[in-house]
Amino acid sequence: MSTPPPRNAIVTGASRGIGRAVALRLARDGFAVVVNYAGAADKAAQVVNEIAGQGGRAIAVQADVADAASAARLFDEAERAQGRIGVVVNSAGIMKLFPIASGPVEDFDAVFNVNVRGTFNVLQQAAKRVADGGRIITMSTSVLGMNFPSYGTYAASKAAVEVLTRILAHELRGRRISVNAVAPGPTATELLFEGKTPEQLDRLAKLAPMERLGTPEDIANVVSFLAGPDAGWINAQTLRANGGYT
């Protein structure tokens, strides 16, 4: 019998939105959780306190995953606090929307710095440090199938995330570590609401046959499945959790 991986998890971008919901869900599943945040220390502390209030174990660790040294320090602190890591969920990301023809190159760089470089840094550390039999999970987007104007840079960054995810799964051959991506559809988070009118949000909600926005908990449920024992035969895949949106 193979030894099960440790019940310790790192969740990046866990101070709000989908990352927050994932951290809370994994804690309910029995994981000790490292709640990573870039700048929102107060919100990360709230997540830790909520987990503790439900009888779980969690610590908050500041790190900018777009910086390689900072990402390495995140894993160092996680291992010091909780031991070997069993699950890594990279939920840190940003979304800036602008037309390709007129978008500022600075915004392009910002999106790729967090979404692609950040994912690369986290995957690199996870590949070295996650215990055999563990789980690595990234975040993509179902926008990849829609070709919406102004989403070009964001969608391109997430396409890169999916490629990195699939290739790492093959590079970890023989270690029983699964590497998968989750691609949410429109999900009711600050990231989605920013800069959109109620009418725009209503149109997004109606795109899926379910005729509603997803919730962070909907996505956390999918991550919980991928992080658990029943998903051991799912590897190098992108699960599109979107209510039939694409």
Contact by Cβ (8 Å): 15, 43 = yes
What is the phi/psi pair of residue 66, to 5°?
A: -70, -15
Of 31, 108, 148, 125, the C-alpha closest to 69 is 125
Give per-residue pLDDT as tens, 198-215.
Answer: 898 888 889 899 999 999
Q: What per-residue confidence (pLDDT) applies to 1?
A: 54
The single-letter code of the amino acid at 241 is A
Is 167 within the bounds of a domain? yes
The answer as to whether 199 is a domain residue is no
Residue 181 — very low, low, confident or very high, per pLDDT cuts 50/70/90? Answer: very high
pTM over 0.85: yes
The answer on pLDDT for 190 being more than 90 is no
Q: What does the pLDDT average to over 217-245?
A: 96
Q: Is residue 156 part of a domain?
A: yes
Residue 195 included in any domain = no
Confidence class for position 240, pLDDT limits 50, 70, 90: very high
The total number of structural domains that make up the chain: 1
Q: Catalytic annotation on 37?
A: no
In a domain, residue 77? The reply is yes
Give the pLDDT band of residue 165 (cuts 50, 70, 90). Answer: very high
206 falls within a domain: no
How many residues are listed for the chain in this entry?
Answer: 246
Helix (H) or strand (E) holding 232: none
pLDDT at 235 over 90: yes
Give me the CATH number covering residue 233.
3.40.50.720
Of 66, 60, 125, 97, nearest to 191 (Cα)?
97
The one catalytic residue in 37, 151, 154, 245 is 154
Q: Flag whether 106 is in a domain.
A: yes
Is residue 64 situated within a structural domain? yes
Domain range for 148 is: 8-183+215-239
Name the one residue in this structure whose structure tokens are 């699939």.
166
